[in-house]
Structures are given as structure tokens and as C-alpha cells.
A and B are shown apart, each in its own frame.
Chain A
Amino acid sequence: MADPAGGSHRARSEDARHAWRIFAIWFVLSAVIDPLYYFLAGPHMPPGAETSAASGAQFDLNVVMVTAMPVVIAVVLYLGYAVVVWGAKRSGDREAVGGPKYTRNLRVQMAFIGVTTLIVMGMFVFGTVELIVPAGAGGGEGPNPIWTPTSKTILPIQVIAQQWKFTYRYPTFGGFETDQLMLPDNTTVAFHVTSLDVIHSFWAYQLGVKADANPAEDNVAYTTTQQTGEFTVRCSELCGLWHGSMYDFGHIMTKQGFEQWATSTEQKLAPATKLLPKFAYTYVPDANGADGGYYPDNVDPYSNVETYGASTTQS
């Protein structure tokens, strides 16, 4: 086994020379690239800032990027340095004998493992906080969300996926169902995502919301709108033949405009709504033939989070 500390004094100083050089280049590159990215590119990174979930996702993406780039720079720089500085002059040089015969170096190993562990644990803590504090960060939390928004008034919207179309039901506006997704500005929205057939995924890109649509399951995702604008909805779980064209567009409108749209659509669609099955969290009968809970009539559109849709009595 080779000597752990690198043998002679000269070998050690040679080590230190290379290490310092690599460290210095790495430090300069990271110190330049990271802030450049964060301040120049960061604010324009997807998914934008239309909702709290979107700006949260953008911030998280930027933080992960700023953490990851020095790591990438370090390894790529090291590989490049090795290729340039430690490459044999001729590739066929059979006599080439490598440098010092290090087979281990406890300090380097411990430092390497310690740094990776620190980064990983830091990422974990950051990711968990960013998941829990913004109420699930726009991701589908299943039928029993444990991280709920602080806002006590939440507009529930049901997303019903089927091959190969999304429709949206507004239970607090008489339960009409439409293929238009309109949201009011500055409002916390709860998407109740379900499917009538196979697994789909409701991906409202600019909203920073994604939740799988499972048959017989209510998958809830929260976000709060911050700006008016358009957004894209795509199915992001392979659902068969026309999966690729299962998309549409939604709008975030002013609160006033939204209420106008919602009440007028409610009236316009009233005859059709009467023919629809009553609002339920899921529309696929469960094993006993029952089909989920029903939404109470005549409720405040922006319901209290504890009571909206709490009724599970079967008719």
C-alpha cells in the first residue's frame, strides 16, 4: 500500500500546487456564473410567476440550480484539468507511469463524503420546507391533503380528465361543467383532479400545478393566483392514442370578470347541468357501487376550507 500522505515533501507541495490551482479556477468560475445565473436568468426561468406555486417552483429551481452548478463546474473543471495537464504526451506511450501511488487519503475521502452529505442534507431540508410551507407546492396531495393553504377562503374547481379531454366543474356555482378553465386573480384555488377512465395528469404549466388524475380518486392540489394571464394545460401521463393532443388553455381573469363569467355561464348551462350527475369527488363507483360524496347546495363560492364539500352523505 502506498504512503497515505503522498511521500516526500516535494510530492506534497506538488499536490498542493494542483489543488490550489483547481480550487482557484473553480472559485472564480462559480463566483461569476452563479450570481450571473441567479440575477439574469433566474427571474425568467419557468414556470413563471402567475401563481404562488409557479413562483415557488421558480425560486426552488433557481436555488437547486445555484447549488448544482458549482458541483458541475467542479467535476467538469477537474476532468478538463486532468485531460489537459495530466494527459500523456503520446497516447501510445506504453512506458507511461502514473503519478504518486495514492491508494487512499483519509482526509480527502472524509472531506469529499462530508461535503456531499452536507449538500444533500441541505437540499433535503430546503426541499421539505418548500414543499410543506406553500401547501404542497402545487403538487397533487391525494384525497386527504395534509398541507393546506393558510387562506380560509378557497375556490374549489374540479378537473375531470377523460380520454382525451379535460373538463372543469365549478361546484360552488351550481356545479356546471365546461371545457373552459377560468380562474379569478388573487385567489386560492383547490383543484380536485379525478379521471373517468385511465390515469391522466393535469399539468397547468404556468400555474406550477401538476396532479395525476386517477379513476375513483380525488387528487387535490392548491395554488394562489397572483397575475392575470393565459396558461397551458397539458396531460402529462401517457393516456393512450391521443395523449399528445390532450391540451387546452386557461385564463386567470380579474376577480370581477371571473364572477361575471361564472354566473353567466352557470345560467347559460343550467339546462345542461340538470342532466349531469350530481357533483361528486369521483365519478367512478367504488367496490360497493357507491360513488363518493356529494357537494352541498347553495354554498358560498369561496368556501371555508373546513366545510366546503365536507358533506359525504349519499343520496
Chain B
Amino acid sequence: MAIDIRESVDVGQPGGSAPSVRQSNRPSWLGQHLGTAIIGAVAGYALGHFIGNSIASGYVHVANSGQNDVAVCLGLAFGVFGWLAGVGALNYPLAKLVGKEAPDEIAETGWGRYFRYTLDHKVVGQQYVIGVLLFLFTGGLLAMAIRTELLYPTNHLIGPGTYIAIVGEHGTIMMMMATSIVIGPLGNWLTPLLVGSRRMAFPRIEAFSFWIFTAGYLVILTALPLGGFPTGWTGYAPLQTESGAGMDSYLVGFAVIGTGMILAGFNMAVTIINHRAPGMSWSRVPIFAWSLLATSSLLTLATPLLFVAGLFGVLDRTALTAFFVNERGGSSFLWENLFWFFGHPEVYIMALPGFGIVAEMLPVFCGKPLFAYRVGAAGMVGVALLSFFVWQHHLFQSGINPDMRPLFMLTTELISIPTGFIYLVGLGTLWRAKIRFEVPMLFCLALYFNFLIGGITGVFLSDVPVNVTLHGSFFVMAHFHYTIMGGLVFAFFGGLYYWLPKMTGYSMNKRLGQIHFWVMFIFFNLTFFPLFVVGLLGMPRRVFEYAARLQGLNDFSTVCAYVLGASFVIFIANFVWSIYIDPRPAPANPWGSRGLEWQTPTPVPFYNFERIPVILSDPYHYGEENPLPVADLGLGGTPVAAAVLSGNGEHASGSDGGGPSV
């Protein structure tokens, strides 16, 4: 790892200028907002559906079939465009396209801004918080339905058709949500603050990625009224090709979400690389930013495969191409490989940000510097790189060339090494610390426990002979719930408890936070640990009937799942209580963090930093007698930067002197 540790002399544009906006006194219900977006989406769907019917209703495979995939796909695609146009996300590109100057975006301060296309990364981050929570809770309710059906081995509360639709919907919603659960809210809100910039590199793309993310949520929800899709989130062809109209929602939905993922990742990577403040060399970048960088490179490089695979699937279903149809010269293995070539990097998209969050919080609550910072950064980059070389471990028993299997077993097991780096950082930081058990820290420690179980069971699955028994069983399902939910979702909630005081300006209730944590942690483990056993005992995934001898374990898991679901109600109650009912203003730096984001006033002003800060050290010098300030914020007094960096005086003057120029 060649990490450049020199003082950075030229780190590109330091993000000095904010996007051009004007403030307006227009009432917020005028203009474009969520309401016009809904109108646009409905109108777009109607138009697309009409066009699809006009084109295809006479086709042999459509006429009298009761299903016109052309109309559904076009309806969904036009609906997405209607949604984006309705909210105003297309104003700028369309105006530029016809050679006109785009209208200025309005900078609002009231409630209305949360329902608009807005260029303030902090508002987008807050929109994302609500967006991903909505996504998460929708998927969670579907999970409750799944567990309810599994209360009885052969008596059914919901029919197999509804069950399979719910399984697919739950998986797809959760996978879509999990790709953005950290990158979206915390990534967008924090990245400029972490690297000392006033904005994301591309504020319009940032806002666009949020609104297309919500469009993807709506598209995948349309699968339910369209009859659902029977393939699960993996969408294997040829089942995909023969399924009902709900499958169109899946394919279009993944393409839409995928577009948002590519754009969000691209934006994030460019921001971290090019918008670092002067003095923020690669060895001073917060570890969370490293994990975001690794994640966004995965988003940018892996997701196009998903988009292309989804497009092929749509063509197979509408234009009767044969990409995935064996009988006509295609191959069902093509979908499996395209999907997992995206799908495996994707699961690290759902792990790395969690590692970043916990590594960022540990030093604060341990009162110690981060241990082995470079090893941690190398671990994140290493996991990201290796994740492109493991996808066939999903296909060990599928009938692919058998000689590939030792190779993919090796690459899969090699990932344990950089993942171990990340554990080394965590465990090393805990060494002889004085741990403050604040709520975010509890979530941190829980991640190390949960991901340990998830990671170790991953090694079981990577071992091909053991995989023969475990593949496609509940063991796999328990394994990835331990990594994604036990890792990422726990880290996300830890991150929320940690950064919400900064985001909202109000402290979260500590007592409720502790109750939330303990209920969630205990019942998460009680829900999913028995499912490892259930899988070992021979229960395949996604079934609605199972052996009667497994009922005890399944019922135990179901009951615990209800309590786990209820723990999120505690979180909502805490959120509403602490922010709306009994708001207590949070101090600017409640945890005593040295991170750059905590050096800003609360609430964070529109321009983040009055002057672009000059970074003087990495943010992990905890417990030192007289540590160097992490940055010179240029807020009067002796300019620390000038004093410290006497040899590099240009850094101090590099802080673009202009204050906010609204």
C-alpha cells in the first residue's frame, strides 16, 4: 500500500465555492416538490402504459394473455421520468440541453426544503435518513409476515403465492435499501464535513441520486399490486422470464436504483478524492471516509453490471430476445454470473461503511488513538478489490466448470485477511482503553460480535465440501443477516445515535437508546442464531413448508423476530420524543470527538465552514496532553496553521478567504 503520507500540496479544488442558489420568499407549496413529483409519476406511468399498449397489444404473445410487459415496463420507466421531472431534478440538464441557462435552485430554510430537490448536502442527508428508514421498515414489516407464515410447518396463514411474493419483495427492498443505508444518509451528510469541504463534488447529482432512490422504492413497491415476483431478490432466469408482471417492477426497479447507486458512488468518490481541505493528506483522511471511498468505488464499478443484466431481462420479457433462454441460444448461467458479479461486490457495499463507522467512533469512546490506521485503510481497500474476484462462490453447486471451485474458494477465504485487518484496528484500539459505554459505543461493540459470527459462518460457506450441505439453506440466510443486519444496520443505528445530535441539533434520549440497543442486540441474536441450526438440519431458504421437527426452532425465531421488530418502534419513539416532544439542544460536541465534523457549530451552517479549514493532523490524537488541533478553522486568534506549518505557509493562505456569500 503506497499511502502518500507527505503534506498534501495540491489536493485539487478544496470545495471553496458553494452551488449558486438564490433565496426566495415564495411559499413552499408553490414550485416543485414531492407533490408535483407524485403527479409527474402518475402521469408518466399512464402515458408509458398507454404507449406500451398501443405498441404491443397486438403482439402474438401479448394478445389475450392478460399481461403486457411492454406497457408495464414503459409505464414504470416513464413514471420514473415523471417523478424526476415533477420534483425538478431534470430542470438543469434539460435547460442545458436546449442551450439555455438553468434557473437557479431555491435555497429554503423552512420545512419545505425537506420535500424538494435541493443542493444542500445536509438536507439531502436528512432526506435520506427518512428515506432509508421508510425503506427499512417496509422491508421489516414484510419480514414479520415471513416469520409469521413460518410459525407452522404445514398449516398456512398466507398462501404460497403471497408468501413467495413477500419473500421476493422483502429481499429486494432490503438489498436496495442496504446499498444506501449508510452511503445515503451519513455519507451524503458527513462526507463534506469529514474532508473539510463546503459541498459534495456534484450537488445536483447528489440530489438526483436521492430522488431516483425514492423512485426505485416506489417502483419495487409496484411489484405487489402487479402480483409480486416469484424469484426472490436473486431473480434467476428462466423463472424470471416466465414470471408475471411483478417481475418487470423488479428489473426496472433494480435498474433505477442502480442508476442512483452509480451516481451516488461516483459523487462520493470524487468528493473524497478532490474536495479534501488543504493539509488533509491520505494519512489524515478519517477512516470513515476511507470506507466510504472503498464503498463508492464498488458502487461505481459493480453496479453497471446489474443495470445491464436488468436491461437484458427486460428485453427477454418484452422484445423476446434470448439472453437468458437456454433453448434459444442464451444461457441461464449468464444471468447468474452477471448478477453475482454485481451481487458480491454489493455485499461488501453493505459491510464496509459499517466498518468505517465503528472505526471512526471507537477512538472517541476509548479515549485512545485509532490503532493501526494504515492497516485499517488497507483492509478496506483490500476487501473492496478482492470482492470482485469471489462471485462464483454463489454458484459452487450450479454446474459451472468444476475446476473454478478451488480458485473461488481461495479468493473467498482470502477476504478474511483484509477483514481481519479491520478487526485488528478495532481490537487494538480497545486495548487497555477506558471505554465509555455511550449508546453508539454499544452498537460498535455489537458489530464486532455480530460480524464475527457472520464472517466465520462465511468461511464455512466458502469451503466447497461444507457448502454442499449448506448452500441454499437457512444457514446462508442466517449468515448474511448476521453480516448485513448485525453489521451494517447495527453500525447505521450506532452512527445515527452518534451523529444525530449534530444533524438535528438535539440530543437523543440516552435511556431509550440503551433500551433500544439491548432489545435489538439480544433479540437479533435470538432470532437469527437458531436459523443457523435450522439450516444445518436441512431447511432450504424461501420455503413455506418445512419438516415438523423444525417447528420449535422456527417458532422461537419468529417470536424473537417480533420483539426485534418492536425494538425499532423504540427507536422511532426515541426519535420523535427527543426531537419533537422534548427537544433538548445538543452541545456542539457531545462526545468529545476530535473529528473535523464536530468542530463546526450546531446546527451546521449552510456553508459548513466559514473558512475552508487547514488540516493539521489526523483526528485520532486522543488522550494526549496538549494535542495539536485537528484543523485551523481560521476563526480568528492566532492562525494555528501558520504557526505550525511554518515551512508550508501556503496552506494557511490556501484557505479560500471568502466567507459565505449568499
User: Is A23 engaged at the interface, CB distance under 8 Å to the other chain?
Assistant: no
User: Is B234 engaged at the interface, CB distance under 8 Å to the other chain?
Assistant: yes
The smallest C-beta distance from A76 to any residue of chain B, in angstroms, reads 7
B432→A99 contact, CB < 8 A: yes
Which residues in window 468-485 of B have CB below 8 A to A?
468-469, 471-473
Task: Give Cα distance in the complex from A146 to B404, angstroms.
Answer: 11
User: Is B232 engaged at the interface, CB distance under 8 Å to the other chain?
Assistant: yes
A142, A147, A286 interface centre (most CB from chain B within 10 Å): A142
Selected interface stretch from B100-108, B112-120, B160-168? B160-168
**Mask for B285-307, Cβ within 8 A of A = 1, else 0?**
00000000000000000000000
B435→A87 contact, CB < 8 A: yes
A104→B372 contact, CB < 8 A: yes
Taking CB atoms, residues of chain B closer than 8 Å to A294 are none
Taking CB atoms, residues of chain B closer than 8 Å to A76 are 449, 452
B465→A131 contact, CB < 8 A: yes
B433→A140 contact, CB < 8 A: no
The smallest C-beta distance from A285 to any residue of chain B, in angstroms, reads 6
The smallest C-beta distance from A108 to any residue of chain B, in angstroms, reads 7
Task: Give Cα distance in the complex from A193 to B242, angstroms.
Answer: 22
**Least CB separation from B325: chain A residue:** A215
User: Is B327 engaged at the interface, CB distance under 8 Å to the other chain?
Assistant: yes
Task: Give Cα distance in the complex from A15 to B396, angstroms.
Answer: 45
Q: Given contacts A199-B239, A242-B160, are A87 and B430 in contact (CB under 8 A)?
A: no
Taking CB atoms, residues of chain A closer than 8 Å to B398 are 140, 199, 212, 214, 219
Selected interface stretch from A60-68, A149-157, A166-174, A301-309? A60-68
User: Is A102 engaged at the interface, CB distance under 8 Å to the other chain?
Assistant: yes
Taking CB atoms, residues of chain B closer than 8 Å to A275 are none
User: Is B427 engaged at the interface, CB distance under 8 Å to the other chain?
Assistant: yes
A120→B397 contact, CB < 8 A: no
Task: Give Cα distance in the complex from A71 to B160, angstroms.
Answer: 41
Q: Given contacts A116-B417, A236-B473, are A68 and B397 in contact (CB under 8 A)?
A: no
Selected interface stretch from B136-144, B196-204, B536-544, B566-574? B536-544
B397→A211 contact, CB < 8 A: yes
User: Is B428 engaged at the interface, CB distance under 8 Å to the other chain?
Assistant: yes
Residue of A18, A57, A86, A193 near B469 (CB, 8 A) is: A57
A235→B540 contact, CB < 8 A: yes
**Mask for A25-63, Cβ within 8 A of B = 1, else 0?**
000000000000000000001110000010011001100
B423→A75 contact, CB < 8 A: yes
The smallest C-beta distance from B387 to any residue of chain A, in angstroms, reads 16
Task: Give Cα distance in the complex from A183 to B491, angstroms.
Answer: 50
Task: Give Cα distance in the complex from A130 to B374, angstroms.
Answer: 37
A109→B434 contact, CB < 8 A: no
Taking CB atoms, residues of chain A closer than 8 Å to B402 are 136, 141-142, 145-147
The smallest C-beta distance from B325 to any residue of chain A, in angstroms, reads 9
Total cross-chain contacts (CB, 8 A): 304
User: Is B308 engaged at the interface, CB distance under 8 Å to the other chain?
Assistant: no
Task: Give Cα distance in the complex from A197 to B456, angstroms.
Answer: 36
User: Is A264 engaged at the interface, CB distance under 8 Å to the other chain?
Assistant: no
Selected interface stretch from B181-189, B407-415, B517-525? B407-415
Taking CB atoms, residues of chain B closer than 8 Å to A285 are 327
B396, B459, B468 interface centre (most CB from chain A within 10 Å): B468
Taking CB atoms, residues of chain A closer than 8 Å to B242 are 197-198
The smallest C-beta distance from B500 to any residue of chain A, in angstroms, reads 18
Residue of B327, B329, B437, B620 near A215 (CB, 8 A) is: B327
Q: Given contacts A68-B460, A105-B428, are A287 and B328 in contact (CB under 8 A)?
A: yes
Taking CB atoms, residues of chain B closer than 8 Å to A131 are 405-406, 409, 464-465
Task: Give Cα distance in the complex from A251 to B383, angstroms.
Answer: 45
**Least CB separation from A127: chain B residue:** B463
Q: Given contacts A71-B456, A199-B239, are A98 and B432 in contact (CB under 8 A)?
A: yes
User: Is B622 engaged at the interface, CB distance under 8 Å to the other chain?
Assistant: yes
**Least CB separation from A112: chain B residue:** B424
Residue of A87, A215, A245 near B326 (CB, 8 A) is: A215
Task: Give Cα distance in the complex from A108 to B236, angstroms.
Answer: 45
Interface bin, chain B: 35 or more
Task: Give Cα distance in the complex from A172 to B328, angstroms.
Answer: 31
B430→A82 contact, CB < 8 A: yes
User: Is B367 engaged at the interface, CB distance under 8 Å to the other chain?
Assistant: yes
Taking CB atoms, residues of chain B closer than 8 Å to A235 are 540
User: Is A276 engaged at the interface, CB distance under 8 Å to the other chain?
Assistant: no
A284→B326 contact, CB < 8 A: yes
Task: Give Cα distance in the complex from A47 to B475, angstroms.
Answer: 13
Which residues in window 340-382 of B have CB below 8 A to A?
366-375
Taking CB atoms, residues of chain A closer than 8 Å to B460 are 61, 64-65, 68
Task: Give Cα distance in the complex from A99 to B431, angstroms.
Answer: 8
User: Is B7 engaged at the interface, CB distance under 8 Å to the other chain?
Assistant: no
Task: Give Cα distance in the complex from A46 to B470, angstroms.
Answer: 10
A72→B333 contact, CB < 8 A: no
User: Is A8 engaged at the interface, CB distance under 8 Å to the other chain?
Assistant: no
**Least CB separation from A220: chain B residue:** B399
User: Is A237 engaged at the interface, CB distance under 8 Å to the other chain?
Assistant: yes
Task: Give Cα distance in the complex from A15 to B432, angstroms.
Answer: 8
Task: Give Cα distance in the complex from A145 to B400, angstroms.
Answer: 10
User: Is B448 engaged at the interface, CB distance under 8 Å to the other chain?
Assistant: yes
Task: Give Cα distance in the complex from A75 to B416, angstroms.
Answer: 14
Taking CB atoms, residues of chain A closer than 8 Å to B374 are 104
Task: Give Cα distance in the complex from A123 to B465, angstroms.
Answer: 12
Residue of A94, A201, A244 near B592 (CB, 8 A) is: A94
User: Is B332 engaged at the interface, CB distance under 8 Å to the other chain?
Assistant: yes
Task: Give Cα distance in the complex from A219 to B545, angstroms.
Answer: 26
Residue of B234, B435, B438, B472 near A86 (CB, 8 A) is: B435
The smallest C-beta distance from B472 to any residue of chain A, in angstroms, reads 3
Residue of B234, B367, B545, B547 near A97 (CB, 8 A) is: B367
Selected interface stretch from A202-210, A254-262, A265-273? A202-210
The smallest C-beta distance from B414 to any residue of chain A, in angstroms, reads 6
The smallest C-beta distance from A175 to any residue of chain B, in angstroms, reads 22
**Least CB separation from B373: chain A residue:** A103
A130→B465 contact, CB < 8 A: yes
A64→B466 contact, CB < 8 A: yes
User: Is B421 engaged at the interface, CB distance under 8 Å to the other chain?
Assistant: yes
B453→A72 contact, CB < 8 A: yes
**Mask for A202-235, Cβ within 8 A of B = 1, else 0?**
0101001111101111010000000000001011
Taking CB atoms, residues of chain B closer than 8 Å to A14 are 432
Residue of B167, B239, B420, B543 near A198 (CB, 8 A) is: B239
The smallest C-beta distance from A214 to any residue of chain B, in angstroms, reads 6
Task: Give Cα distance in the complex from A2 to B239, angstroms.
Answer: 59
B434→A137 contact, CB < 8 A: no
**Mask for B166-197, Cβ within 8 A of A = 1, else 0?**
01000000000000000000000000000000
B239→A102 contact, CB < 8 A: no
Task: Give Cα distance in the complex from A216 to B330, angstroms.
Answer: 11
Taking CB atoms, residues of chain B closer than 8 Å to A92 are 436
Taking CB atoms, residues of chain B closer than 8 Å to A243 are 164, 542-543
A127→B326 contact, CB < 8 A: no
A209→B436 contact, CB < 8 A: no
Taking CB atoms, residues of chain B closer than 8 Å to A137 are 464-465, 468
The smallest C-beta distance from A215 to any residue of chain B, in angstroms, reads 5
List B residues at the A interface (Cβ < 8 Å).
160-161, 163-164, 167, 230-232, 234, 236, 238-239, 242-243, 326-329, 332-333, 366-375, 396-403, 405-406, 409-410, 413-414, 416-417, 420-421, 423-424, 427-428, 430-438, 445, 448-449, 452-453, 456, 459-460, 462-469, 471-473, 536-538, 540-547, 592, 620, 622-624
Can you name 23 A-B residue pairings with CB atoms under 8 Å? A15-B431, A57-B468, A68-B460, A78-B427, A86-B433, A87-B435, A97-B367, A97-B622, A98-B623, A99-B434, A101-B369, A101-B624, A124-B409, A138-B468, A139-B468, A140-B397, A199-B236, A199-B239, A205-B469, A205-B538, A212-B398, A238-B232, A287-B329
Closest 4 CB pairs of A and B: A99-B432, A98-B368, A98-B367, A236-B472
Additional A-B contacts beyond A2-B369, A198-B242, A242-B160 (13; CB < 8 A): A18-B432, A60-B466, A68-B460, A75-B423, A83-B437, A87-B437, A94-B592, A99-B368, A113-B424, A142-B400, A145-B402, A208-B468, A286-B326
